[in-house]
Amino acid sequence: MASLFMNTLKATLPHVSKDLFPRYNNLNKSKAFLPITKKHFSPTPRRSSSSVSSLTPQLDQTLLDYQEDDRPLSEIWKEIQGFNDWEGLLDPMNSHLRKEIIRYGEFAQACYDSFDFDPHSKYCGACKYQGGHFFDKLDMQGHGYKISRYLYATSNINLPYFFQKSKLNSVWSVHANWMGYVAVTTDEGEIKRLGRRDIIIAWRGTVTYLEWIYDLKDFLCSANFTNDPSIKIESGFYDLYTKKENSCKYCSFSAREQVLAEIKRLLDYYRGEEISITITGHSLGAALAILSAYDIAEMRLNYMDHEESKNRIPITVYSFAGPRVGNLKFKERCEELGVKVLRVINVHDKVPTVPGIFANEKFQYQKYVEETMSFPWSYAHVGVELALDHTQSPFLKPTNDLGCAHNQEVHLHLVDGYHGKGRRFCLATKRDIALVNKSCDFLRSEYGVPPHWRQDENKGLVRNREGRWVVPERPRVEAHPEDTAHHLEQVLKIASSSQVEAI
């Protein structure tokens, strides 16, 4: 069956410093660290080229039936975060929801824009920027968030096209890759606008195209986060999330342990406040987003002092172009735990169709096959789907490149223009169309935007005192905060006591 899956898939897809992170002293509850601009949505358009942006209004922007939601986001944030599974907000598309999808999508895109995937760099596989300057370097200063910590995973698993390694002998790490970050709102103006303090986890996806799908082991393994062995996850995602390498300081804690410890620390620090946990990612990062959301909920970290569910901290996932993660039991357990997932997909993208080509949530007898026959290749998508179609955008050209259909910036462009099924494509936030071609070639030629245009100035080289062009040394990055083990221990105590209560 596994070989049949691979043959079917291949027929479908072409080959193609210690002061770095703010800790207790820096994550103030009082006044803001970061200035917040009056324009609260999508900071990315400040990167726009005026000559390109001026082309955007050539499309008729009038929509007689389109109205802005004039309610403050702070009053309806739970609804926007999926409290009612986004009922009535997707068709027609609610203006607050659109801006929030794009905003969280840009947090996911930041993982790509900051990742060093140059095999000729000794920092290949690392983040380009220090945590204290992360958002400034990406021209995302106005959003009101601060990096809390970076996340790492060991590359010693069977996903070779996902991990990036340097060709040089002297490298920053032999075993680790940078996977994303945890950030938290620290600006009082943004907290007021959102109606709560938001903790975000952003996961990096793949910098290569779709080759990593070929390396999915295509079999399920028990999640082992609970006593129920019937809840299963694709083994490649599970390994990526849970494996560690004791000989590597960056991977001495697994990605899972890093996430759980940091979430516990932040929730303890901001105890008593209105808080949300939002997780985002694109492609394989979307799989990690759903997996980590489930894990946080299963470990009951979002229950404050084991209080009733009415005081449960909401967990929301904004997933972009993500594959299926686990079996039907996994999907059902996520729903029981109250994890809210909004999956943004392009109907022409192949990644959301795998794994589970033969037995998935669309199969009428999946529950019977999974439970009675113990079918080992049964997968189900979690959450609510927002299906977009890139052929509806008049800015995009026809292409056979499936990488364009999978691209994150393309998804954000489609969200900006989507107003509901059967409604005309119309850019609502005027997000710069030049961003579409940041890492692909999808815009029509008349817009004059070169493909794959985003790169570091001089490809990161600087001239030293001797006049030579060199790769500059980067400040030493803290692997794990000293209190990681302490907070992880607290997490395990919570989980143990919850399991005893369940028994």
Positions marked catalytic = 283, 349, 406
Tokens 């790509």: give the residue.
112
Q: Are 381 and 343 a contacting pair, CB within 8 Å?
A: yes
User: Which of 163, 182, 183, 181 lies closest to 173, judged by CA?
Assistant: 163
CB neighbour list of residue 27: distance below 8 Å, 6 or more residues apart:
146, 148, 184, 186, 266, 269
Q: What spatial distance separates the first Cα and last Cα of the chain, rounded to whole Å?
A: 37
Q: How far is CA 416 from CA 95, 97, 133, 409, 492, in A?
A: 10, 11, 28, 11, 41
Three-state DSSP state, 323: coil
Alpha-carbon distances of 408 from 112, 300, 338, 349, rounded to whole Å: 9, 31, 27, 11
The candidate with the shortest Cα–Cα distance to 378, out of 417, 427, 326, 456, is: 326
Are 71 and 184 spatial neighbours (Cβ–Cβ below 8 Å)? no
Tell me which H or E stretch contains 190: helix 188-194
Residue labelled with tokens 């944030």: 77
Q: What are phi and psi of 342, to 5 degrees?
A: -110, 115
Distance (Å, whole) CA 102 – CA 89: 15
Bridge partners of 178? 152
What whole-number distance in Å separates Cα of residue 299 and Cα of residue 260?
9
Give me the phi and psi of 249, to 5 degrees please. -65, -25
The tokens 């992170």 sit on which residue?
Answer: 21
